């Protein structure tokens, strides 16, 4: 079964291809500068009953040649059937597109990462017909990012580090660094990475920590996350009333819900101040601040 953790481990490469450069550096593979990345269909099925699919397929093109294909698989445990599946993926993709193909396997535990590195051979008796060597990302080679400044320089890598090291002793520090970096990020990045981590970490201690750092907006509809519920409830109330006042009320209630979910005490006079606000720009600013505020009064700090 495809899990939320499985989905986010490979999807981040589709949504944030800038992650490829630092990842290839970690892997010790030289990546040409100024590449363009195209997301291809992950379907590698020739006959429908085979139902063969790779999680993500990217076409990586440098400016001076045809480039290569990168098949990405998220692997949560050892699977003896993967040797033949991965061989099929690479052979089919290379034949279909006429480009060399690499396989990148993303793991969140060391034992699976060690196994996934292979090599995986196929043949008969002592004769090897084919052999594949996957590239592997896991806890042993993904950097632990606990410095907010470093996280701010590369949000994609910081988020990937947080998902990979969800069981690491320094997981709280990793998540705090990412949260601080997101506090000054653009609203689109703030919303995307907030929800990506909530889904990717799932129901785990690290996930519980991250759920205290939520904002609104949704990139994973239908998952039922706190972000999605808060956002949709606020929007629904606004749409139902069909007027600016209704939208403002929805945003105001979202501000209070985020603060409550983070365990921040909201006195009755302050809650009333938020609910009585009708300026949507002000409410949006308060909503952005709710993700990093340690006290409710921080919502109202004047702009620098």
Q: Please give the chain's pLDDT, 304 residues, in tens.
A: 345 567 787 888 888 888 888 888 888 888 887 788 888 866 554 433 333 567 888 999 988 888 899 999 888 889 988 888 898 889 989 999 999 999 999 988 899 999 999 899 888 888 988 899 999 999 999 999 999 899 999 999 999 999 898 888 888 888 888 888 887 788 788 878 888 888 888 878 888 777 765 543 444 545 555 555 555 555 555 555 555 566 778 788 878 877 877 778 889 889 899 988 988 888 888 887 887 788 888 888 876 4
* CA distance linking residue 20 with residue 25, whole number of Å: 8
Residues 119, 129 contacting (CB under 8 angstroms): no
Residues 6+ apart with CB under 8 A from 123: 129, 130
Residues 236, 267 contacting (CB under 8 angstroms): no
Going by C-alpha positions, the residue among 174, 172, 137, 114 that lies closest to residue 12 is 137
* CA distance linking residue 218 with residue 195, whole number of Å: 7
- The whole model's pTM is what? 0.66
CB burial string 265-274: b at 16+ within 10 A, e below? ebeeebbebb
């Amino acid at each position: 079964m495809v899990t939320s953790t499985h989905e986010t481990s490979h999807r981040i490469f589709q949504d944030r291809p800038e992650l490829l450069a630092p990842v290839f550096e970690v892997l010790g593979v030289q990546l040409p500068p100024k590449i363009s990345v195209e997301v291809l269909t992950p379907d590698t099925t020739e006959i429908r009953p085979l139902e063969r699919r790779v999680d993500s397929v990217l076409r990586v093109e440098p400016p001076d040649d045809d480039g290569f294909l990168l098949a990405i698989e998220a692997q949560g445990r050892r699977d003896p059937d993967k040797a033949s599946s991965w061989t099929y993926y690479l052979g089919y993709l290379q034949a279909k597109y006429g480009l060399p193909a690499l396989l990148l396997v993303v793991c969140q535990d060391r034992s699976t990462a060690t196994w996934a590195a292979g090599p995986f051979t196929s043949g008969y008796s002592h004769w090897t017909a084919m052999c594949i060597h996957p590239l592997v990302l896991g806890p042993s080679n993904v950097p632990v990012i606990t410095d907010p400044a470093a996280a701010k320089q590369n949000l994609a890598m910081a988020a990937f580090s947080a998902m990979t090291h969800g069981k690491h002793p320094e997981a709280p520090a990793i998540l705090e660094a990412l949260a601080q970096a997101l506090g000054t990020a653009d609203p689109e990045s703030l919303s995307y990475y907030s929800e990506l981590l909530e889904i990717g970490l799932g129901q785990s201690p690290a996930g519980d920590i991250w759920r205290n750092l939520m904002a609104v907006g949704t990139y994973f509809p239908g998952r039922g996350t706190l972000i999605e519920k808060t956002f949709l409830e606020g929007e629904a109330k606004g749409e139902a009333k069909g007027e600016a006042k209704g939208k403002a009320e929805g945003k105001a209630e979202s501000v209070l819900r985020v603060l409550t979910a983070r365990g921040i005490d909201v006195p009755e006079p302050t809650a009333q101040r938020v609910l009585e606000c009708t300026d949507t720009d002000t409410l949006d600013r308060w909503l952005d601040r709710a993700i990093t505020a340690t006290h409710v009064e921080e919502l109202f700090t004047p702009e620098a």
